[in-house]
Amino acid sequence: MTAPIVIGLVSVSDRAAKGIYQDQGIPELEKWLTQAIINPCHFIKCLIPDEQNEIEKTLCQLVDQQHCDLILTTGGTGPAIRDVTPDATLAIADRVMPGFGEQMRQISLAFVPTAILSRQLGVIRKQTLILNLPGQPKAIKETLEGVKDENGKVQIQGIFASVPYCIQLLDGPYIDTHSHIVQAFRPKSAQR
Phi and psi for 18 in degrees, rounded to 5? Answer: -85, -5
> Residue 189: its pLDDT value, please?
86
Q: Show the domains of the chain with their CATH numbers.
A: 5-190 (3.40.980.10)
> Residue 154: its pLDDT value, please?
86
> Residue 3: its pLDDT value, please?
81
List the one residue out of 71, 148, 144, 136 whose CA is nearest residue 103. Answer: 144
Taking the alpha carbons of 166, 84, 7, 11 in that order, is the dihedral positive or negative?
Answer: negative
> Residue 1: its pLDDT value, please?
60
Q: What pTM value is reported for the model?
A: 0.96
Tally of CB atoms within 10 A around 187: 7
CA 147 to CA 80: how far, in whole Å? 27
Phi and psi for 40 in degrees, rounded to 5? Answer: -65, 145
Average of per-residue pLDDT values in the chain: 95
| pLDDT < 50 stretches in the chain | none
Give the strand pairing for 70-74 and 5-12: parallel
CA distances from 134 to 38, 81, 108, 139 (A): 24, 16, 9, 6
Task: Please give the single-letter amino acid code of residue 179.
Answer: S
Question: What sections of 45-92 are H helices per DSSP?
Answer: 52-64, 85-92
